[in-house]
A = this chain, B = another copy of it.
């Protein structure tokens, strides 16, 4: 029997709760409200979807899905005669969605493909919705396959009795890894650092793990090494935003210092990378985004210091390859020094 991804996932990661069309609107799951409320932001235009992405209604893999659904929404409107099926309209929509997350190269690429498909259908005077729908379904089927490959590798690395440290919100690849480990009957404990300043660990990771029945403990970002020193951690696993072809991994700020502490304690670090970026090489190819330092001075809107305090908010940090035990990818568990061999030789099927 085929396993269905959504059956393993908590509320906010189920495909329909990330973004879907309902009536004449795009509904986007509001991750800002979770875990306090399960809410959706209702968008009636591509512009409203773009603003929702910009205002962090969704994050991580969410913007990619929301952008695809926005294009499907627009295709439907063209098919039903609400707008003209003109290439310019779709190109403008693509461009608007791309600028919502300038560093999300996967989303940019998908939007390019989608617009290519749509433009061809327009030329052939075809309905647009079925082609877009088909693309999204194929895409999701492909990603579902990749997630299961990665989660099989990840759960295979986890042994009965293990303690696992994560960081930030590693979304489907990590949550599915844990779900499969639990299905395999493994007794595991997960430690989720709160991930200041945006609290993805406290708000997303820990509640999602709790929802799928995992034994999760929330800690502050300052406790990771101490918990390791108590023998409570055997594996360190996170998502990564970017992996370069020579094994440098960028992820949410704090990932790097946990990797140093893990190495110090002899704990292997396994980043989960669905899409290593073979166009980048070396630490210098990654630019660290700096966000509004005001966020460091408050927590969920409550100030923590003087309003005139100077603060600094680098959003990501970079882990060097020598601190990585192996990268979990859809192509297998790969040494950070071996990505080029694997990815240059084969095309991902």
Decide: A299 near B299, CB < 8 A? Known: A260-B260, A306-B207, A312-B217.
Answer: yes
Report copies per complex. Answer: 2
Contact of A206 among B194, B216, B305, B313 (CB under 8 A): B305
Contact with B along A157-193 (1 / 0, CB 8 A): 0000000000000000000000000000000000101
Q: What CA separation (Å) do A197 and B221 show in the bound complex?
A: 9
Bound: A195/B304 CA distance, A: 11
Does any Cβ of B come within 8 Å of A269's Cβ? no
A302 at the interface (CB under 8 A from B): yes
Report A8-25 CB contacts with B as 1/0, cut-off 8 Å.
Answer: 000000000000000000
Contact across chains for A310 and B216 when beta carbons are under 8 A apart: yes
Most chain B Cβ neighbours within 10 Å, of A199, A256, A257, A297: A257
Is A229 an interface residue, CB under 8 A from the partner?
A: yes
Number of interface residues of A (CB under 8 A): 56
Q: Are B229 and A35 in contact (CB under 8 A)?
A: no
How far does the alpha carbon of A325 sit from the alpha carbon of B144 in the complex, in Å?
50
A323, closest chain B residue (CB): B264
- Whether B202 lies near A304 (C-beta < 8 A) is yes
Q: How far is the CA of A53 from the CA of B261 in the complex (A)?
A: 35
B207 touches A253 (CB 8 A): no
Closest residue on chain B to residue A216 by CB atoms: B310
Residue of B nearest to A35 (CB): B306
Decide if B256 touches A260 in the complex (CB within 8 Å).
no
A254 proximity list for chain B (CB < 8 A): 220-223
Q: Is A203 among interface residues, defined by CB-CB distance under 8 A?
A: yes
Residue contact B253 to A226, C-beta cutoff 8 Å: yes
What B residues does A199 contact at CB under 8 A? Answer: 304-305
Instruction: Tell me whether A219 is interfacial, beta carbon within 8 Å.
Output: yes
Cβ-defined contact, B202 with A297, below 8 A: yes
- Is A210 engaged at the interface, CB distance under 8 Å to the other chain? yes
List of B residues within 8 angstroms of A302 by Cβ: 299-302
8 contacts between A and B (CB under 8 A): A35-B306, A202-B304, A206-B306, A218-B310, A220-B254, A222-B253, A260-B260, A260-B264
The 10 A-B pairs of least Cβ separation, nearest first, read A222-B254, A225-B257, A226-B317, A196-B220, A299-B299, A221-B222, A202-B304, A202-B305, A218-B311, A221-B221
